[in-house]
Structure formats: C-alpha cells, structure tokens
Amino acid sequence: MPDTPAVASFAIPEAPPAAAARPAGGAVADALRRLVSDRATWLPGAFLVLLLVSALFAPWIAPFDPTDTQGLIDLKLHAPSARHWFGTDAASRDVLSRMLHGARVSLSVALLAALLAAGVGLVYGAIAGYAGGLVDDVLMRVVDACLAIPRVLLLLLILSLWGEISVMSLVLVLGLTGWFPVSRMARAETLSLRTRDFVVAARALGAGHARVLVRHVLPHAIAPVLVAATITVGQVVLIEAGLSYLGYGVPQPNPTWGNIIRDGRGTLATTWWLTFFPGLALAGTALALNTIADRLRAALNPRQLPAP
C-alpha cells in the first residue's frame, strides 16, 4: 500500500508589531541617533557641551573668586586684558569668573524649571486627553485662562509680592508658570494615542485606566514633550536673565548672566564688556537650544530630515 503523502505544514508568520506599539524608549533612542548624525546639530551641540562643561567645572577653571573684590580702586572697571580676559566690574570682580559661575546658576535654574514644567505639563495634558469629555473641557479651559495672562507680567507680580527669593523658589515659580503650552502638546498627542490598537488591546485585557495611562500612553506621548522641554530651557535662560536684570531674580552676590548685565547698565557706553560678553552667551545659548529643538523635532519625524 503506497505511503500517504505527508501533508505540508505551514507556519503562520507573526505579524510585525505595529509602529504605534513600538516602545517609546526605542523611538526616542533612534531619534537621538539621527540627531547626533545630523551635521546641522554639530556646531550648536559643541557649543552647549562646552558651556555645560565650563559651568560644571567652574570652581576649578575660573581664574578668580567670583565674589572677590581684588582691589576696590585699582582694578575697578578695567577693560579686558591678558590678566582679566573679560574685564572687571565696578566692584573689581573678574567678569570671566562671574560668567562661569553664573552659567552654573542660570543653566541649573533653566534645566530644573524646564524639567518641572515638562513633567507637570505631560501628566496634566495626558490626563485631559485620555479622560476626554467634560474633564477634558474643564482642564483645558483652565489652561486657556492661564495662557491668556502674559507670563512675564505674572512672574513680575508673583516675585514683587514674594520679596527676596531663593534659587529653588525661583525654579518652582518658573516651572509652575511654564507648563501650560506643554500640556496642550501632551493632550494632542494623547488624543491620537488613546484610540490606537495597543491602547485598546490593553483595556480589553483588563488593564485599568491608571495602568493604561502610565504604561502605554505617557511613554508614547513623551516625544513632543522633549522638543517642548528643549525650547523651554532656552526660554527660561532668557527669562531668568531678564528677571535678574530687573532685580527680581537670583539675589546678589550670586552671579548670573542677568546680574552681570545689570551691573553694567549705568555705564553701558564705557564698560561695554559688562553687557557684551554675557549678552553674547545668552544669545548663543538660546540660538543653540532652539536649533537643537528644531532638529530634534525633525529627527522624531525622519521624513522631515533632508536627504544626505
């Protein structure tokens, strides 16, 4: 009796995971790799790295103590020289040393305030977008009302009523007044995520709303928030400098770029170095951060990147 031919068996290939269900960490890591390979980010990136390293090691590389009045009369308002590269101020303090130490304060305040704003905005916007309906309407109307108030005027009002403020208190004020635009971005991203297959599948498997929001929605909504946080750092650097210039920011004798500019406001025509060097640092930092944020936005959407 002839053998019965064996029935061929076919393995059903697994469907590739949906792009939306890809872990957010992998997508962000890919975006960061594209960002590093993008030549448009090399110059601003090198500037920011140099600035961060200088600020981090300021106590070791600063030539003088930033609060030391070396010679109250002899070294008062000296122009840049071989000994004092960026000159001295009215209190005979070395401007380069004050700028290096001021970078520590200015960048620390900006980074911490941006992280606080990004975290609050991400959670608030994600809750509004995921809940929808009346909850979304109420939460977003609160954001709209807060956005209707100019941020600088709100900060001036708060700080004028507060009086003398510490660095950490300034971080809290800047962070808690800067999360409103971030929340709108997080809400928009959450609205597009809550109907995706992997979110619907998680709910169908019995996951609670809190688990779905924390494990599946928030990680995937973080990409646009990273771009917003990068822009926020540059904005806060400028806002902190403006507040310090007006006398509402970091109190003296703590050096910040805004304080240094404020020291030279009365003698701008003759002591140009007190405003030129910190102003150049402020402009370069803001420009570099905006460039990085723009290229990061493109890296998160590779179709926006130019062909190599």
Q: Which residue has the higher pLDDT, 241 or 204?
A: 241
pLDDT digits (tens, 9 = 90+) for 214-242: 787 888 788 788 888 888 898 999 999 88
Over residues 98-112, mean pLDDT: 90
Q: What is the pLDDT of residue 5?
A: 44
E-strand stretches of the chain: none
Tell whether the model's pLDDT for residue 19 goes beyond 50: no
pLDDT digits (tens, 9 = 90+) for 26-57: 666 777 777 778 788 888 889 999 999 998 99
Over residues 1-7, mean pLDDT: 43
Which range has the worst mean pLDDT, 46-50, 73-77, 116-120, 148-152? 73-77
* Contacting residues for 262 by C-beta, under 8 A, at least 6 apart: 244, 245, 246, 247
Which range has the worst mean pLDDT, 61-75, 121-135, 175-189, 231-245? 61-75
Tell whether the model's pLDDT for residue 297 goes beyond 90: no
What is the spatial distance between Cα 76 and Cα 89, in angstroms, rounded to a whole number?
A: 6
* Contacting residues for 72 by C-beta, under 8 A, at least 6 apart: 91, 92
Q: How far is CA 65 from the centre of its chain?
A: 29
* Contacting residues for 61 by C-beta, under 8 A, at least 6 apart: 54, 100
Q: Look at residues 112, 102, 119 and name the one whose alpha carbon lies nearest to residue 55.
A: 102
**Domains of the chain, CATH where assigned:** 104-301 (1.10.3720.10)
Q: What is the pLDDT of residue 144?
A: 92
Q: How confident is the model at residue 288 (pLDDT cuts 50, 70, 90)?
A: very high
Q: What is the pLDDT of residue 117?
A: 93
Over residues 98-116, mean pLDDT: 91
Tell whether the model's pLDDT for residue 69 goes beyond 90: no
Could you say which DSSP state residue 149 is in? S
Residue carrying the six token digits 């370069």: 284
Tell whether the model's pLDDT for residue 266 goes beyond 90: no
Tell whether the model's pLDDT for residue 72 goes beyond 60: no
Tell whether the model's pLDDT for residue 22 goes beyond 80: no
Over residues 100-129, mean pLDDT: 91
What is the spatial distance between Cα 244 and Cα 248, in angstroms, rounded to a whole number?
A: 5
Q: Angle between the 273-300 and 24-37 helix axes, to the nearest 10 degrees?
A: 120
Q: What is the pLDDT of residue 12?
A: 36
What is the spatial distance between Cα 259 and Cα 246, in angstroms, rounded to a whole number?
A: 9
Q: What is the pLDDT of residue 26?
A: 62
Tell whether the model's pLDDT for residue 303 goes beyond 70: no
Q: What is the pLDDT of residue 8?
A: 39
Residue carrying the six token digits 């200088």: 54
Question: Which secondary structure element, helix H or strand E, spans residue 47, and what is its range?
Answer: helix 42-56
Among positive and negative, which fits the CA dihedral 256, 261, 266, 270?
A: positive
**Alpha helical stretches, state H, 247-272:** 257-263
Q: What is the pTM of this model?
A: 0.80
Q: Which residues pair with 88 in a beta bridge?
A: 94
What is the spatial distance between Cα 153 and Cα 82, in angstroms, rounded to a whole number?
A: 42
Dihedral (Cα; 278, 241, 171, 182), 10-degree rounding: -100
